[in-house]
Structure 1
Amino acid sequence: MADFQRTFSVSDLPSNSSIVSIPLAASVFGSILSGPVADRIGRRNYFFVAAISKFTGSLVQIMATSIGTLILGRIISFYAIGIFSMLVPLCKSMYSCATNVIDQSEISQPEHRGRLIAFYQLGVTLGFCVAFWIGYGTSHISTNLSWRLPLGLQILPPFLLFAGLFALPESPRWLIYRERMAEAFTILTSIRSSVGEDSIQMEYIGIVQDVSFDKHFSSKSYSSLMHKGIENNRRRTLLGVGIHMLTQLTGINVLLYYLPHILQSTGITEINSELLGNGVSGMVNMLATVPVFFFIDKWDRRRILTGGSLAMAICMITTATVLGAYSDKNGTENVFINNKAATYSILTVLCLFIACFALSWGPLGWIYPAEIYPQLIRAKAMGVTTAASYSFNLFISQIAPVLFRHITWGTYVVFGCSCLLIAWVVHAFYPETRVSL
C-alpha cells in the first residue's frame, strides 16, 4: 500500500522482511513460554492474558507513526499469537449451535479428536481469507485508512474472545491435575451431557488414573521432554518438533507471504497479482480445509501426510518446469514473454499446491503433536513444538527472498525436493496415531 510505504519508509515486503521476521521471533517466545505458565495458572486464565495482549498490540499498531512503533505493536500481537497457537490445539473448546460441545485435545474423545482439532485449522484459514480480502478492499484508498482500517479491525477478535471466555469451561484434566476434583467432574458432566452417567464416571476415573500415573512417574521439567524412560518422551518431542519443521519446509508460508510478488514475476499485473495472490489463494486454502472433516478420522495419519507431500512435490516441480521452459532467460527477472496460458497455469498449479497442503499438512500439523504427549508434559511439549514451527517459519521467511532473487524458478525445485524428502521421512520414522474405530 502506497501510503504505508511512505509513512514507514519501506519498499516491497521481501526487501524489508524485518516486518515479518521480528514478530515471528516474538511468536517463538510466546509459544515456548506458554507451557509452564498454562500449567500454573490454567488454560482458560492464560487465554485472558493472550486476548489482552493481542488487543494491546493491535491498538499500538493502529496508532503507529514510525516503523519502530509499528514493529513494537506487532511484537506484542505476535507474542499473543504464539500463545494462541499453543493453547488452542492443546485444550480448549467451542460450542456448536446445539447443546453438544465440540472440543479439542484435552476434552475430546480420541476417535473424534482429528475432526475437532481440524476446526482450529479451519478457523486459521478463514481468518487468512477474510484478512486477505479486507486488505485488498482497502489497498486502493489513497489515505492512511488503506492500512489503519485493516489494522484497526484486528482489535475486534480479541475483544470478542475476551467476552466469550467467561462462558468457556476450564480443562477437566488440568483441574484434576491441580486436585480440584469436584469442579472437574462438574465440567466433564456438562460437556458429556449426551452420554450416560456411567460413561461419564468411567471417563472421569480414567482421567484421574492417567493424571495420578503422570504425577508419580513423570518429570514436570523441560528436561523431561528429552528423557527416554517408560514414556520415551525424547522420541515424542522429536516427532512433534519434526512435524512442525517439516510443515514449514513444504514451502507453504513462502507462497502465502510472497505469492503476489511471485505472480508479478510471471507477468500478472500488480493489481491482479494482489487479487489473485491473496484473495484467491486465501479462498482456496479455506475451502480445501472443509473436506478434511469427512476423512481425517477415517484415514491413517501417515498416509494423508505422505500423500500430501508427494502431491505438493509434483506441484512444485511442475511450477519449476513451466517457469524454466517459458521464462525470459536473458533478463534479470523471471518474466514471461506474452504467454498468458503459461502464466495462469502457474497460478492454477500453485493453488493446487495450497489445496493439497490444506487437505493434509494444514490440519495434521496440529493434530499429530496433540496426540503423542502424556498429560503432564503436554503443555510444555506443545509450547516447544509450536515454537519450532515459528522458528522454521522465521528461517524460511528469511531465505525465500534470497532464493527467489538468485535462483528464480530453481526455488521451486528446492521445495519440490524438500516435499519428496518429507514424504520419505514420514514413511520411515513416524508411527500411526489414529484411533481405530
Structure 2
Amino acid sequence: MGLVGVQENVDGNGDVLSEISLGTKPKYTRMDSDLDEAEEEDLPSSNKHDSKKYIMACAVFASLNSVLLGYDVGVMSGAIIFIQQDLKITEVQQEVLVGILSIISLLGSLAGGKTSDVIGRKWTIGLAAVIFQTGGAIMALAPSFKVLMIGRLLAGVGIGFGVMIAPVYIAEISPAVARGSLTSFPEICINLGILLGYISNYEFSGLPAHINWRLMLGVGLLPSVVIALALFIIPESPRWLVMQNRVEEARLVLRKISESEKEAEEKLKEIQVAAGLANAEKYEAKAVWKEILCPSPPVRRMLITGCGIQCFQQITGIDTTVYYSPIIFKNAGITETTQLLAATVTVGFTKTLFILIAIFLIDKVGRKPLLYASTIGMTVCLFSLSLSLAFLDHAKVGIVLAILSVCGNVASFSVGLGPICWVLSSEIFPLRLRAQASALGAVGSRVSSGIISMSFLSVSRAITVAGTFFVFGIISCSAVAFVHYCVPETKGKTLEEIEVLFHDKDDESGGNEVEMGDVERLMQKS
C-alpha cells in the first residue's frame, strides 16, 4: 500500500475528514471527532467580531503595496506627457519608461517567493515598501532620463515583491468563507491607486512641466509610511510559522484570527499535516523548484490555471487601456489636455467602483461565474472600442462610444478577471509550493504586462489603435474558453480542500482502500 501522506480537513459538521494519498486518486474516510462539542466552550461573540475585524485590518495593511503599483500605473499615464516635454524623450523612450516597470518587477516577484520563505511573509511586505520608496524618490528628483530609469528599475523590483506576497499572506490568514473577498483587497488597492494617480495628474497638470510630473511621482511615496507603521500591527502568517516549526507562535496568531479555541486548534493541526511536519521532512528550495519545473499531473494543472489566468489578465490589454487612456481618447477626438485627463478620472472612478462590487459577490456568486461575466464583457467592450476608433473617430457619437467602451472594459475587468486572478493564484497551490508557484505566476503577469505596454505605441503605429484593440478583443475571446476548461470553482473551500480539486482527473482506476484502523493510527502519530 503506497502511502504517501495524510491530510486532515474539517467538513461543515465539524467532523474530521482524513485524506489518504495513494499516488492515485485521494480517498476520504470519515472519523468521529475526539472532541465533544458539548464540552467545548466557544469564545464570546464579541471576540468573534474582534477576530473578523482583526483579519480585515491585516488584509488592508498587507494590500497597501498594491496602492503603490496602482498609483504608478495611473499617474504615469499623465506624467509621461510632461516628462516628454521636460526631458525631451523620444517615443521609444516613452514606451521603455512605461513598460520597463512591469518587466523588471519580475525580478522582485521571482525573488519574493524565496525571500518570503526565508524571512517571512510580513517582512517581505516591508521590504517591498522600502525598495519602492527608494526608487520613487529617485524618480521624483531625476535630472535626466538615465537617472529616471534607475529609479524606475528600483520601483519595479519593489512592486514585484509587493504584488506577489500580499495575496499569499492574505490567503494564509483568511477563513475559507471570506478568503475570496479578502484576497481581492490588493486589487481594490490597485484600483484605488490608479484613481489617485489620475486625480494627481489632473490636480498638478496646471503647474510648469519641469515641476508637475515630479510632484505627481513624489506623492506616491506617502503609502510607504503607512506600510512601515502597519508592520507593528499585522502578525506573521501562521502557515509560515508552522513551516518554520514555530508552532506556539502560530497557535497565538490562530487564536487571534479564529472564532474559538477549538477552531484555532483544528486549524493548527490541519496546517501541521499539510506542512508535512508530522509525516515528512521539510521541502528544500531545490526540491520545490524541481516539483514546479518537473510537475506531477495535479501540479501541472495548478500551474496552467495559476500562470494562465495571470497572463490572460494582462494580454487582454488592461494596462495599455490604463497607461495610454489619454492617447486612446485623443484618437477618439478629444484634443485638450485637461479634458483628456478629466476623461481618465472617469475611467478611474469606474474601475474602483466595480472592484467594490466584486468584493461583495466573489464569495457569494463564486469565482467562475464572475470570470465568465468579466471576460465576455471585456470582449464586447474591446470590439466596441475598436469600432468607435476605426469608423467614428472625431465624431461626437464616436467620442461618447469610446469613453463608454473604455469604462465598460475596466468595469468588466474589475468585476472578475482583475481580483479573481490574484485570488486563484494564491489559493490553488499546496502550502509547500505556494510562495514559489505564486511568484512564478506573478512573473508571467509582469512579463506580459511589460511586453504589451512597451509595444503598444509601436504596434498602434503599424496597425492603428483601433486594430490593436481588435486584437485584444480576439485574445479576450480565448480567455473565455480558458476559464471554461481550466479554472475550477474554489468558493467556500479550505486551502487544503482546493488542492484535492486538481487530483480529480488523476488515474481513475482507483487504488487500495485504507482501513479505518490504519487511518486512526496515522492520525494519532500526527
TM-score, with normalisation over the residues of structure 2? Answer: 0.74
Is residue 405 of structure 1 aligned with residue 484 of structure 2?
no
Question: Gaps (5+ residues) in structure 1?
Answer: 92-103, 328-335
**Cα gap change, 1:30/1:436 in structure 2, threshold over 3 Å: closer, same or farther?**
closer
**Cα gap change, 1:427/1:218 in structure 2, threshold over 3 Å: closer, same or farther?**
farther
Is residue 279 of structure 1 aligned with residue 335 of structure 2?
no
Contact in 2 for aligned 1:28/1:387 (Cα 8 Å): yes
Is residue 421 of structure 1 aligned with residue 502 of structure 2?
no
Which of 147, 171, 181 is matched with 1:105 structurally? Answer: 171
Secondary structure, counterpart of 1:166 in structure 2: coil
Contact in 2 for aligned 1:136/1:275 (Cα 8 Å): yes
Q: Indicate the residue corresponding to 1:98 in structure 2.
A: none
Secondary structure, counterpart of 1:374 in structure 2: coil
Deviations 1:80-139 (A, max 9, x none): 010000110011xxxxxxxxxxxx200111121101011111111011101111122111
Alignment of 1:18-417 (within 5 A): 18-91=96-169, 104-142=170-208, 144-192=210-258, 195-212=259-276, 215-216=280-281, 220-229=287-296, 232-327=298-393, 336=394, 339-408=395-464, 409-417=466-474
Is residue 10 of structure 1 aligned with residue 89 of structure 2?
yes
Amino acid in the other structure paired with 1:205? K
Deviations 1:16-51 (A, max 9, x none): 211122222220111011111110111122222222
Larger C-alpha radius of gyration, 1 or 2? 2
**Cα gap change, 1:79/1:62 in structure 2, threshold over 3 Å: closer, same or farther?**
same
| 1-structure distance, mates of 2:166, 2:493 | 24
Contact in 2 for aligned 1:138/1:146 (Cα 8 Å): yes
Identity %: 28
| 2-structure distance, mates of 1:385, 1:36 | 14
**Cα gap change, 1:191/1:342 in structure 2, threshold over 3 Å: closer, same or farther?**
same
Q: Compute the displacement of 1:277 (Å).
A: 4.1
Amino acid in the other structure paired with 2:416? S
Q: Compute the displacement of 1:7 (Å).
A: 3.6
| 2-structure distance, mates of 1:371, 1:244 | 13
Amino acid in the other structure paired with 2:340? E
| 2-structure distance, mates of 1:205, 1:348 | 51
Contact in 1 for aligned 2:304/2:486 (Cα 8 Å): no
Contact in 1 for aligned 2:110/2:443 (Cα 8 Å): yes
**Aligned-CA RMSD value:** 2.0
| 2-structure distance, mates of 1:422, 1:79 | 28
Deviations 1:326-379 (A, max 9, x none): 34xxxxxxxx2xx21221121112111110111111111101111210111101
Amino acid in the other structure paired with 2:272? V
Contact in 1 for aligned 2:238/2:250 (Cα 8 Å): yes
Q: Compute the displacement of 1:204 (Å).
A: 1.3
Deviations 1:130-149 (A, max 9, x none): 11111221112015320121
Deviations 1:263-287 (A, max 9, x none): 1011112324532442111111101
Contact in 2 for aligned 1:58/1:73 (Cα 8 Å): yes
Contact in 2 for aligned 1:21/1:398 (Cα 8 Å): yes
The count of aligned residue pairs is 411
With 71-80 and 218-227 compared, the bigger mean Cα shift is at 218-227
Secondary structure, counterpart of 2:364 in structure 1: coil
Secondary structure, counterpart of 1:433 in structure 2: coil
TM-score, with normalisation over the residues of structure 1? Answer: 0.89
Q: Compute the displacement of 1:5 (Å).
A: 2.6
| 1-structure distance, mates of 2:450, 2:84 | 22
Contact in 1 for aligned 2:332/2:388 (Cα 8 Å): no
Contact in 2 for aligned 1:50/1:80 (Cα 8 Å): yes
Secondary structure, counterpart of 1:17 in structure 2: helix
With 234-243 and 375-384 compared, the bigger mean Cα shift is at 234-243
| 2-structure distance, mates of 1:71, 1:323 | 32
Amino acid in the other structure paired with 1:256? V
Amino acid in the other structure paired with 1:406? A
Deviations 1:365-422 (A, max 9, x none): 1011112101111010111100110000011113322232122212222111111111
Contact in 2 for aligned 1:316/1:415 (Cα 8 Å): yes
Question: Gaps (5+ residues) in structure 2?
Answer: 1-78, 495-526
| 2-structure distance, mates of 1:23, 1:233 | 30
| 2-structure distance, mates of 1:107, 1:152 | 33
Contact in 2 for aligned 1:62/1:148 (Cα 8 Å): yes
**Cα gap change, 1:234/1:66 in structure 2, threshold over 3 Å: closer, same or farther?**
same
Contact in 2 for aligned 1:57/1:73 (Cα 8 Å): yes
Deviations 1:234-259 (A, max 9, x none): 22112111011111122111100111
Q: Compute the displacement of 1:163 (Å).
A: 1.9
**Cα gap change, 1:394/1:199 in structure 2, threshold over 3 Å: closer, same or farther?**
same
Secondary structure, counterpart of 2:117 in structure 1: helix
**Cα gap change, 1:168/1:427 in structure 2, threshold over 3 Å: closer, same or farther?**
same
Contact in 2 for aligned 1:312/1:416 (Cα 8 Å): yes
| 2-structure distance, mates of 1:143, 1:295 | 43
**Cα gap change, 1:436/1:235 in structure 2, threshold over 3 Å: closer, same or farther?**
closer
Q: Indicate the residue corresponding to 1:330 in structure 2.
A: none
Q: Compute the displacement of 1:315 (Å).
A: 1.0
Q: Compute the displacement of 1:6 (Å).
A: 4.2
**Cα gap change, 1:421/1:54 in structure 2, threshold over 3 Å: closer, same or farther?**
same
**Cα gap change, 1:353/1:172 in structure 2, threshold over 3 Å: closer, same or farther?**
same
